[in-house]
Amino acid sequence: MPEEPKATDNKPVVTKLEAGKYAWCACGRSSQHPLCDGSHSGTGLTPVVFELEDSKTVALCACKKTNGAPFCDGSHSS
Ligand code: FES
């Protein structure tokens, strides 16, 4: 059974990312949050890999309740 993800905030992390591949931290334990640093090891949780074709500003989920990982879907307000 995987451990529970830890919320790191009750609002998304809004950040500009360059085009490329990223691994979003799904466990909430990364010191590089919102990106994975490998701290999920042993939790049964795994990062969500996503790719951006172009550089853009994104809202990455920090409450860990989104149904659209890695992006915020507004679930932090409910
Ligand atoms: S450190 Fe959280 S998913 Fe990898």
Q: Is residue 69 part of a domain?
A: no
What residue numbers bound the domain in which 2 lies? 1-64
Q: Is residue 71 part of a domain?
A: no
Total structural domains within the chain: 1
Q: Is residue 74 part of a domain?
A: no
CB 19 within 8 A of CB 52: yes
Q: Is residue 3 part of a domain?
A: yes
- How does DSSP classify residue 35? B
Q: How confident is the model at residue 78 (pLDDT cuts 50, 70, 90)?
A: confident
Q: Is residue 37 part of a domain?
A: yes
- This prediction's pTM: 0.94
Mutate to test the pocket of ligand 1, among 30, 35, 64 (most ligand atoms within 8 A of CB): 30
Please report where in the chains the tokens 């905030």 appear, as a residue.
Answer: 9
Residues with CB under 6 A from ligand 1: 25-27, 29-30, 36-40, 45, 47
Please report where in the chains the tokens 């969500």 appear, as a residue.
Answer: 48
Q: Is residue 72 part of a domain?
A: no
pLDDT of 14: 98
Q: Is residue 8 part of a domain?
A: yes
Q: Is residue 78 part of a domain?
A: no
As a whole number, the mean pLDDT across the chain is 97
